[in-house]
Structure 1
Amino acid sequence: MEAIINRIRATLPAVNDDILGYITDILETNKSDYIDFQEVDDALRPIFEEVAHNEREQAAIADLCQFVCDQLKLETLSNGNDSTNEPKKLSTPVSIGHYSGNIFEEVSSALFNVADRSLIKPLNESTTVSQKKLEKAEAKLREKQEKRARDGGTNGENKVQARLEEAVVSQATNKKLLTDSENGDTASRSYDVHIDNFDVSYGNKMLILGGTMDLIYGRRYGFVGRNGLGKSTLLRVIANRNLVLPSHIRILHVEQEIEGTDTLALQSVLECDERRNALLNEEKELNKRVQISGGSSAAQDSFISKRLTAIYAELEAIEAHKAESRAAVILNGLGFTSQMQAMATKEFSGGWRMRLALARALFSKPDLLLLDEPTNMLDLKAIIWLENYLQTWKSTILVVSHDRTFLNTVATDILHLNSQKLDSYRGNYDTFVSARTERLKNQQREYEAQKEYRDHIQVFIDRFRYNANRAAQVQSKLKLLEKLPILRPVEKEHEVHFRFPDPEPLHGTIMQLDDVAFSYSKDSRLILNNINLSANLQSRICIMGENGSGKTTLLKLLVEELEPTKGQRHGHRNLVVGYFTQHFVDQLPMNINSVEVLQSRYPGRTIEQYRTELGRFGITGDTALQSVLSLSGGQKCRVAFSLMCMKNPHILVLDEPTNHLDMETIEALAEAIKKFQGGVVLVSHDELMIKRVCTEAWLCRNGSVTSLEYGFEQYKKLIESELQY
């Protein structure tokens, strides 16, 4: 409650202690009634509006109500073990003694459950809240309490649980810092981000406790940590400004694909520059007015002429004439050809619209750019281009990525989320790994040394505890123990282990394409032509190529989702294929748990069998009983792996399996693939995965598939030679 009071004081300086006491008692009477924003808004907005003295304070009321709601959710979660539902009495007097008659009785009985009116201490000091506003607020509160009682307990509990499945934030704010940010001169404003002492929870799970984040302007931060710890949630919290940040900092979060419309791709990117668009629109309007007036008013023409001169000067200052070429360069780097740049956004697939969202973000140059797995939607050529482009970025970047090579190239700092804490490291990902390993070793050594010292002192205390002659020494040793800092042993992260089930043995070539060609219709061009490939149980094949080159089409021919236009596909008569694609992950049913997902697809087995299959990929314990909706992207991938392995496949056909997996999980997947007794055909742009797993490399390009003698390195050099900046 102290955090709420501090936030109210910071937002509304005119509020007095009487009003704060009154608000406190409203909220403490039954916190669970106010974990919904609308209920808090209905109860407190009339009061806040009375003490808000300017437009800025009025505009901040919605955020203030949201903060109160979030803080009460956190307090409700932290007191979750307290099952008592008894009404609470007032802990302090309420200063509303000047109210009288029916209003006083209604407030006492309906809100506070106070039978003894002696608890109310009247004061002569008057409050700034009007009686009419108070009556309206109390009537709404009573109405909502009565409605909740009518709805019944079970239904109410379900609604509360649904509301708790949202990220909840609590933050200690610095009033002086925020005031300085609002009132300071533009030239002296800092674009560094400092967030101290904040908590983030999701549902019943605490993600970050007492977190501190410092983002220095101009640095590029890689954000790493295990799947499901809250990295993406924290990015959304920052983007939505649930954490208080200086209002002058422009934040852009690339998370969702843009909406498909008739707007051309290039124009969609140009529209991000709001200042340029506003100036161009004003220029058109002024020129139109000149044509309409026909020089009828000299004064008006003079004003328009001066304004147009100012507009042209400002357009020149922001280099508006270069905007179109800069947007085209960004789009080209992300894989958009000249023809694609002239296409309407509605003509692109979801993956390409995600690229457009990234292009818009790069073009608009926000002060803080938030990227969540940006390499997932890109091929190797676009990734290499993006790595080079971001190294020239002038403002701040916070990027969640599982791509170790990308983080080594782009990041200047690493933020690590672990055990509900955020730790910062200077340097790229490899530097972070070595620094963290050394830090953990030092922490363990300090703990062991102190433990040995404590044990030594404790032996002395136990030996002479009842010796009167040594009483002073024993007391001295006890005080020494109390003064020692409390060190904790290093918490070892849970190791990730994957295991694919061993298939029945098959001998020789188990899958083969002979002179295969494919097109989606008779009149369309051939996407693939003259393809001759084969695989056996020892195969570890990587298929590489740019987006649109036919990699996924080739996989679908291998797994018989598509029939060849020409040629033949041969497969062993007992062959079982396991096919993984992000498409399957996106189509998992979201409203049931992981065990039920496997049960619905493969009925007739025991619960233990389903849980064993999920356990192969780290979905264990309560996680297997959570709804799929509540799982992280990486955990959903694991469920999809479990589904794929329910039929014990002989060969795994994997289309971008590392998307959404954290570093440790990717390593576990690579190790599991190496130990798998069947064959593997893999499409991936993850350099480390390819190098660790694959022994053969096929390049899809220009409708053909060719073998690369030197594997990934040969392909990477080919791409780099073709890049333009």
Structure 2
Amino acid sequence: METCSEYIKNAFPTIDDDLKQYVEGVLQNGADDFEDSEEVYEAVGEVLQEVASDKTEEDIRNICNDLLTMLQPNKSKASNGSIKTLNAPVHLANMIDNNDSGIDDVKSIWMMKRDETLKVDAKKLEKAEAKLQGKQDRRTKETKTVAAPKLETATASQVTSKKESKLEAKGNNRTQDIRIENFDVAYGDRVLLLGADLTLAYGRRYGLVGRNGLGKSTLLRMISGGQLRIPSHISILHVEQEVVGDDTLAIDSVLQCDTVREELLKKEKDISAAINAGSQDPELNSQLSEVYVQLQNIEADKAPAKASIILNGLGFTSEMQQRPTKTFSGGWRMRLALARALFSRPDLLLLDEPTNMLDIKAIIWLENYLQNWPTTLLVVSHDRNFLDTVPTDILHLHSQRIEAYRGNYEQFEKTKTEKLKNQQREYDAQMQQRQHVQEFIDRFRYNANRAALVQSKIKMLEKLPELKPIVKETEVVLKLPDTEPLSPPILQLNEVCFRYSPSDRYIFTDVNLGATMESRICIVGDNGAGKTTILKIIMGILSPVQGMRHVHRNLKFGYFSQHHVDQLNMNLNSVELLQQAYPGKPIEEYRRQLGSFGVSGDLALQGIASLSGGQKSRVAFAQMCMGRPNFLVLDEPTNHLDIETIEALGKAIKKYTGGVILVSHDERLIRMVCNELWICGNGSVKSIEGGFDEYRKIVEQELEAAANAK
């Protein structure tokens, strides 16, 4: 490790000793286990990036590659040419004949002449080699014909009535309801919506649901971007991009959304400054009085308290509200964007997976807050509990159209199931009637006495409405790898304490927890409480400052986190991605692996950049499981997955024969699979009795206490 130590010191001259010792410890502990430089980067890359602002991510990856070479010199030598591959067959018999040494000792068993009758027939050998070459050529051709990535864009077209166009042109269209009729949306060559209609009544809350990749997020972008036209007087806010980080305080960032208040305050400040400067303009006092009246009418003095309540509900403490936006991570800036939207109250609020960035406490607060939302809300969500609590209506996107249902998601499921049953009964009845009438026609077609009756039956068949067979959505099935049982103990944390540096506070102390191959553990807690940190200690990515971590020698972790989805190579397609991660396997095996996670057919050959968030998650799952782990560590696995896939994931976890620890805020998944709950917070990680019901009760009590304190 001396070479590594010197290399780190030279590459990072500003690194402090404690951090350097920490990096060296991680490298030393994992020296034999690192498969490639990517694993070295995952272990120490983020830490090294923090102490080297002058280096790019590519620089850090190159350094990690050099460190791997130092840690595993034997692998490096082997790859530098000590193993040679012959480019032509070697005929040992000729070697014997040409051996002039005459020393019998040299002619070992490998240099003795063989019986000629044992030789392989030359023609058969030639035929076999030709067959093998043909197979290799086909495989190479199949690999090369994988579609090149193509980044496509979404387009929309819409038919508007002359009446609405005239009203819009005259400025007389004051309706608050939104009607988008007969519109199409396409993504590249793929049609997502065809001749669809969408009606949003003012004051109602709509949940937009449907399978991954059908165009829900695209539809929201088409509305907010103006490609689908709505009355110009209706204000729209789409929470999609995080707030830009600058010196603006978090609370001020929210208050600035109220442009009317901001303009009045600026006007009040300018007039007051003019009066204080000695201006003799008699109009200034009356203008100032008018501004004060307007500020009073909009209750401007209550705005800071209102903004603070929203920020607090989304997890911002009083201290955090006074921090500049540039000090927050991307996830917290997305929360700020949501807070700004809730504060400004547009006529139409568009939310795309708002619960992805929130912990359970913030989700419960948001559910309660949106139940009293005064304007129109259109939200895409796959959180089943959220969809049961917030929407007044469900919009179901399927088969290139949108169907509206009254009620929440539970009511939608019941209504949809009953509707499909009725449609199937109607279809079956008509098919039976058609068959009966057709049999009569076929039987008496050439009977002159029944000719008139046959003709009337033929006309009757022609007038029957054409009913199409009911096409049910295919059931989503996910298949996790089979595992071999391991004898306990499997995983144990004893008296574990952790902090990132001696100057930091302890994130948690005295952690005593264990897991088995039957474990289905969910870790819950506020954002920033250390959930991801405890996962990394469990996997050995981070080492405890105090205490011990014991794992079975044959335990193989499979780690899924949202940043793995974001870091997929967008220039490849799914098959190429697996080829790169696990080279040397037949194409069929990669496609079979992707197919077990619902990425099949042309989808597997589609560029990853063009996949939806849920489809990218499935690809990341397929990549993780191809390594055949026997213990899964899942950090927010449901983000971007549709409801059916979350349900399938829950079933797959229940069938899985290895252990599972997951961090999730999806209440339905937690209730479905978890038999143990760990709460992370207040400097500890503890298992609680009573499961999720007990935890939800604790959270609701905390929210109630916070509301009363306000």
The alignment's TM-score, normalised by the length of structure 1, stands at 0.76
The correspondence for 2:636, drawn from 625, 637, 656, is 656
Secondary structure of the residue aligned to 2:472 is coil
Q: Which residue of 2 aligns with 1:696?
A: 676
Does the aligned pair in 1 maintain the 2:177–2:199 contact within 8 Å?
yes
Q: Take 1:176 and 1:302, find their aligned partners in 2: how far apart are those partners? A: 49
Distance 2:290 2:170 in 1: 27
Matches of 1:592 and 1:184, distance apart in 2: 49
Please report how far the alpha carbon of residue 220 of structure 1 lies from its aligned counterpart in structure 2 after TM superposition. Answer: 0.4
Amino acid paired to 1:195: I
Alignment partner, residue 573 of structure 1: 553
Relative contact order (alpha carbons < 8 A, sep ≥ 6): 1 or 2 greater?
2
> In the alignment, does 2:213 pair up with 1:233?
no
Q: How far, CA to CA, are the matches of 1:587 and 1:617 in structure 2?
A: 19
Equivalent residue for 2:451?
Answer: 471
2:197 is aligned with 1:249: no
1:50 counterpart residue number: none
Deviation at 1:408, TM superposition (A): 0.8
CA contact (8 A) 1:580 1:653 kept: yes
Q: Is the 8 A contact 1:182 1:247 kept in 2?
A: no
Q: Which amino acid aligns with 1:386?
A: L
Matching residue of 2:357: 377
Alignment of 1:208-607 (within 5 A): 208-292=193-277, 294-296=278-280, 301-607=281-587
Deviation, structure 1 residue 248: 0.3
CA contact (8 A) 1:182 1:246 kept: no
Taking the aligned partners of 2:512 and 2:331, their CA distance within structure 1 comes to 29
Query: Deviations for 1:451-509, whole angstroms, at most 9, x for unmatched residues?
Result: 11111111111122223332222221121111111111111101100111112221112
Instruction: Look up the equivalent residue of 1:602 and give its one-letter code.
Output: Y
Q: Write out per-residue CA displacement over residues 267-301 of structure 1, whole angstroms, 9 at most, x where no aligned residue.
A: 00011111111111111122222233x244xxxx2
Displacement of 1:181: 4.0
Are 1:655 and 1:684, in contact at CA under 8 Å, matched by a contact in 2? yes
Secondary structure of the residue aligned to 2:196 is strand
> Which residue is 1:620 aligned to?
600
Q: Which has the larger radius of gyration?
A: 2
Alpha-carbon separation, structure 1, partners of 2:577 and 2:499: 34
Q: Secondary structure at the match of 1:456?
A: helix
RMSD: 1.4
| Deviation of 1:182 (Å) | 4.9
SS at match of 1:583: helix
Q: CA separation in 2, counterparts of 1:161 and 1:641? A: 21
- CA–CA distance in 2 between the matches of 1:445 and 1:254? 43
Is there any run of 5+ residues in structure 2 with no aligned partner, and where?
1-147
Amino acid at match of 2:498: F
Detail structure 1 runs of 4+ shifted over 3 Å in the superposition. Answer: 160-163, 181-185
Q: 1:463, 1:403 → 2: CA distance?
A: 57
Deviation by residue 1:206-242 (Cα, 9 ceiling, x = unmatched): 1111111111000000110000000000000011111
| Cα deviation, residue 721, structure 1 | 0.3
- Cα distance in 2 for partners of 1:419, 1:222 equals 18
Secondary structure of residue in 2 paired with 1:580: strand
SS at match of 1:170: strand
Which consecutive unaligned segments of at least 5 residues does structure 1 have?
1-159
C-alpha contact 1:542 1:682 (8 A) present in aligned 2 = yes
Do structure 1's residue 171 and structure 2's residue 183 form an aligned pair?
A: no
- Which amino acid in 1 is paired with 2:196? G
In 1, Cα distance between equivalents of 2:626 and 2:548: 28
Contact 2:237 2:349 in 1 (8 A): yes
Matched AA of 2:275: V
Contact 1:220–1:410 (8 Å) recurs in 2: yes
Give secondary structure in 2 for the equivalent of 1:384: helix
- Provide, for residues 640-681 of structure 1, a one-character-per-residue CA deviation record: whole Å limited to 9, x for no partner: 111111111111000111111111100100000000000000
Secondary structure at the residue paired with 2:231?
Answer: coil
Do 1:372 and 1:399's aligned partners in 2 also have CA atoms closer than 8 Å? yes
Counterpart CA distance in 2 for 1:561 and 1:712 is 28
Secondary structure of the residue that 1:579 maps to in structure 2? strand
Secondary structure in structure 1 of the residue aligned to 2:465 = coil
Deviates more, 1:507-516 or 1:326-335: 507-516
Spell out, residue by residue over 1:559-599, the C-alpha distance to the aligned partner (whole angstroms, 9 max, x if none): 11111111121111111000110010110010100111111
Q: What's the offset of the Cα at 1:616? A: 1.4
Q: Distance in 1 between matches of 2:236 and 2:223?
A: 8
Tell me the distance in 2 between the aligned counterparts of 1:551 and 1:295. Answer: 60
Q: Is the 8 Å Cα contact of residues 394 and 406 (structure 2) preserved in structure 1?
A: yes
Shift of 1:184: 5.0
> CA–CA distance in 1 between the matches of 2:536 and 2:203?
44
Q: Residue type of the partner of 2:161? A: N
How is 1:101-140 mapped onto 2 (pairs within 5 angstroms)?
A: none
Q: Is the 8 A contact 2:207 2:387 kept in 1?
A: yes
Alpha-carbon distance between aligned partners in 1 of 2:150 and 2:633, rounded to the nearest angstrom = 38
C-alpha contact (below 8 Å) 1:589/1:597 kept by paired residues: yes
What CA distance in whole angstroms lies between the structure 2 residues aligned with 1:178 and 1:708? 61
Q: Which amino acid aligns with 2:170?
A: N
Call closer, same or farther: CA 1:683–1:307 in 2, change over 3 Å.
Answer: same
In 2, the alpha carbon distance for the partners of 1:291 and 1:174 equals 56
Helix, strand or coil: the match of 2:198?
A: strand
The DSSP-based 3-state class of the residue aligned with 1:424 is strand
User: Percent sequence identity over matched residues?
Assistant: 61
SS in 2 for 1:531: strand
Query: In the alignment, what sits opposite 1:630?
Result: 610
Amino acid at match of 1:587: Q
Residues 549 and 702, structure 1, Cα contact 8 Å, conserved in 2 = yes
Could you tell me which amino acid in structure 2 is paired with residue 520 of structure 1? Y
How many residues end up aligned between the 2 structures?
558
Equivalent of residue 193 in structure 1, options 178, 181, 188: 178
In 1, distance between residues paired with 2:559 and 2:255?
40
The residue type paired with residue 545 of structure 2 is: T
Distance 1:315 1:512 in 2: 61
Residues 400-450 of structure 1: per-residue CA shift (max 9 Å, x gap):
111111111111000000111100000001000000000000000011111
Q: Which amino acid aligns with 2:412?
A: F
CA distance in structure 1 between the partners assigned to 2:350 and 2:238 by the alignment: 5
CA shift for structure 1 position 356: 0.3
For residue 190 of structure 1, what is the amino acid of its counterpart? T
Return the letter of the residue paired with 2:570: M
